[in-house]
């Protein structure tokens, strides 16, 4: 049974409330594949300890990026993650929320204030997106001309619904349907997954329903993938809408259940060992496989894990940034470059190729830039890396581009195709463990 909050007169947030808000706000960035900088963590500690206000923190943060401080110079993704995290923290520490179309537009504008020029503006463009969890298939969202009408209908239905906390199954099923529908409508041009996450938390709080803070802090990428599966249907491939993964996320969130929220379970074509999602027998959450006390640790090299050697660095994939105005991938706008990548050579790449082995383990299930992959592999020569590692893997259909129609896209990232994932799973456990130990040692 879901627990109900005691709605007493609120007071100024204390240290624990601030810390929870910051950890959640920073963790939510992973829903769009972003990671905050060390600098925002330093600033957040000052705010948590009462040394600076949220307003003062935002001013310092803006000055930091205006001066292009050497810590994160030239990294627009960290700048976005930092600013959005600060905005979300302020929102989570406030009590204002209006479940209306105007209220949602105001919320989106507040989340992305100082980040997106069109923040709070209803979407006017078509959006469709290639998703890793769908094996590279494309998910389409509501057409722009239906956004306002669909949103108002969805919100009106939610306002009329009467929650019964004594029936947790029914309550969670309804919440899943509501949140999933909001996300599928995709009301705004950018940042809809993080917006949906914040909306979820504020709506639960307004309803007076308690939730487990660690679920969004640690498992926001799973949240994204579960939303995808809840809204994807392909009869030709015998794939139907599958809300069960999102339901399990909410069961962990609201009922403190212990479903193992790893992203591999959600994939439309999981390996045999990931075909049945299980519950955990302890209190750990493995959705993003982070150290629960430090949401900064999102890469394999940063995680702490006490298990078999072959499980030491189970790589957590991060979600690509959703920039619909940056040429979203659609069936209509694919180019020759895209087709060339899709029609990869059928020749199977030998796993005796050491470069390929290391590349497969380094990428794992993540979306990574060239710089990030090279950092994983401890390589400095970009030309040699492209020639000996990345380009051959792309040509052989083992690695694909996030923006295949725009190879020089400023936010270009790379991920393993289904063929690449299959090859990764065929690496012998002892060999994979040896590679992981090598990479972890180099990064120590």
Cβ–Cβ < 8 Å for 331, 315: no
Residue whose pair of structure tokens reads 């996030």 in the numeric block = 402
Q: What is the pLDDT of residues 51-96, one digit of tens each?
A: 999 999 999 999 888 876 555 456 788 889 999 999 999 999 987 7
Phi, psi of 138 (to 5 degrees): -105, 135
Half-sphere exposure of 267 (CA within 13 A, CB side): 20
Count the Cβ atoms, other than its own, within 10 Å of residue 368: 23
Q: Record the tokens describing residue 152, joined without a space.
A: 């108002």
Half-sphere exposure of 36 (CA within 13 A, CB side): 28
Axis-axis angle for helices 147-160, 168-185 (nearest 10): 160
Axis-axis angle for helices 168-185, 244-255 (nearest 10): 120
Q: In terms of Cα–Cα distance, which of 395, 425, 17, 400 is closest to 205?
A: 17
Rounded Cα distance, 277 and 222, in Å: 13
Which residues are within 8 A (CB) of 187 and not within 5 positions of it... i.e. 6 or more apart? 104, 105, 108, 122, 123, 147, 151, 195
Rounded Cα distance, 208 and 50, in Å: 27
Lowest pLDDT segment from 310-314, 415-419, 432-436: 310-314
Mean pLDDT for the chain?
79
Axis-axis angle for helices 192-207, 213-230 (nearest 10): 120
Residue percentage of the chain with pLDDT more than 90: 40
Lowest pLDDT segment from 155-169, 248-262, 395-409, 423-437: 395-409
Binned at pLDDT 50, 70 and 90, residue 188 comes out as very high
Q: What is the pLDDT of residues 347-383, one digit of tens each?
A: 444 556 888 889 999 998 787 889 889 988 888 888 8
Integer CA distances (angstroms), 232 to 130, 134, 141, 199, in order: 12, 8, 10, 22
Taking 50 as the threshold, does the pLDDT of residue 117 lie above it? yes
Which residues are within 8 A (CB) of 429 and not within 5 positions of it... i.e. 6 or more apart? 309, 310
What pLDDT shows up at residue 4? 56
What pLDDT shows up at residue 55? 92
Q: In terms of Cα–Cα distance, which of 78, 76, 29 is closest to 197?
A: 29
Binned at pLDDT 50, 70 and 90, residue 193 comes out as very high
Cβ–Cβ < 8 Å for 128, 136: no
Taking 70 as the threshold, does the pLDDT of residue 226 lie above it? yes
Q: What is the pLDDT of residues 412-432, one digit of tens each?
A: 888 888 788 888 888 888 888
Rounded Cα distance, 261 and 87, in Å: 27
Lowest pLDDT segment from 30-34, 304-308, 387-391: 304-308
What pLDDT shows up at residue 321? 31
Q: Structural domains in the chain?
A: 14-94 (no CATH), 120-278 (1.10.3290), 336-443 (1.10.10)
What pLDDT shows up at residue 2? 59
Rounded Cα distance, 74 and 65, in Å: 9
- The answer for 356, left when phi > 0, alpha when psi is -120 to 50, beta otherwise, is alpha
Lowest pLDDT segment from 138-152, 306-320, 430-444: 306-320
Integer CA distances (angstroms), 205 to 18, 233, 257, 400, 403, in order: 16, 32, 19, 41, 38
Q: Record the tokens describing residue 65, joined without a space.
A: 């990026």
Rounded Cα distance, 44 and 23, in Å: 9
């Amino acid at each position: 049974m879901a627990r109900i909050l005691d709605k007493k007169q609120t007071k100024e947030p204390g240290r624990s409330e601030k810390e929870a808000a910051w950890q959640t706000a920073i963790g939510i960035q992973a829903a769009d594949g972003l990671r905050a900088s060390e600098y925002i963590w330093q600033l957040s500690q000052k705010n948590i300890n009462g040394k600076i206000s949220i307003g003062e923190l935002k001013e310092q943060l803006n000055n930091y990026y205006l001066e292009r401080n050497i810590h994160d110079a030239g990294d627009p993704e960290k700048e976005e993650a930092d600013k959005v995290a600060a905005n979300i923290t302020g929102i989570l520490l406030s009590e204002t929320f209006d479940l209306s179309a105007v209220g949602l537009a105001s919320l989106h504008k507040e989340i992305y204030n100082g980040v997106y020029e069109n923040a709070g503006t209803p979407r006017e463009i078509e959006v469709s997106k290639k998703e890793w969890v769908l094996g590279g298939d494309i998910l389409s969202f509501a057409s722009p001309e239906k956004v306002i009408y669909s949103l108002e209908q969805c919100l009106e239905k939610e306002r009329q619904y009467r929650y019964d906390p004594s029936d947790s199954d029914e309550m969670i099923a309804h919440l899943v349907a509501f949140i999933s529908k909001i996300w599928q409508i995709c009301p705004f041009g950018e940042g809809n997954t993080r917006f949906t996450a914040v909306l979820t938390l504020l709506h639960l709080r307004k309803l007076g329903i308690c939730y487990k803070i660690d679920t969004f802090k640690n498992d926001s990428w799973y949240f994204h993938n579960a939303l995808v599966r809840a809204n994807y249907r392909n009869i030709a491939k015998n794939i139907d809408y599958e809300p069960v993964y999102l339901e399990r996320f909410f069961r962990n969130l609201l009922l403190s259940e212990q479903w193992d929220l790893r992203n591999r379970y959600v994939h439309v074509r999981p390996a045999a060992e990931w075909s049945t999602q299980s519950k955990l027998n302890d209190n750990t959450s493995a959705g993003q496989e982070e150290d629960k006390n430090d949401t900064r640790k999102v890469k394999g090299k940063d995680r702490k894990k006490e298990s078999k050697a072959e499980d030491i660095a189970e790589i957590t994939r991060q979600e690509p940034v959703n920039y619909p105005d940056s040429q979203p991938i659609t069936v209509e706008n694919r180019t020759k470059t895209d087709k060339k990548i899709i029609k990869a050579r059928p020749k199977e790449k030998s796993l005796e190729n050491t470069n390929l082995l290391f590349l497969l383990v380094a990428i794992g299930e993540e979306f990574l830039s060239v710089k990030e992959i090279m950092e994983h592999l401890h390589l400095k020569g970009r030309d040699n890396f492209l020639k000996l590692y990345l380009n051959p893997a792309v040509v052989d259909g083992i690695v694909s581009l996030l923006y295949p129609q725009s190879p020089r896209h400023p936010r270009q990232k790379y991920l393993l195709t289904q063929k690449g994932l299959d090859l990764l799973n065929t690496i012998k456990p002892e060999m994979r463990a040896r590679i992981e130990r090598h990479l972890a040692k180099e990064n120590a």
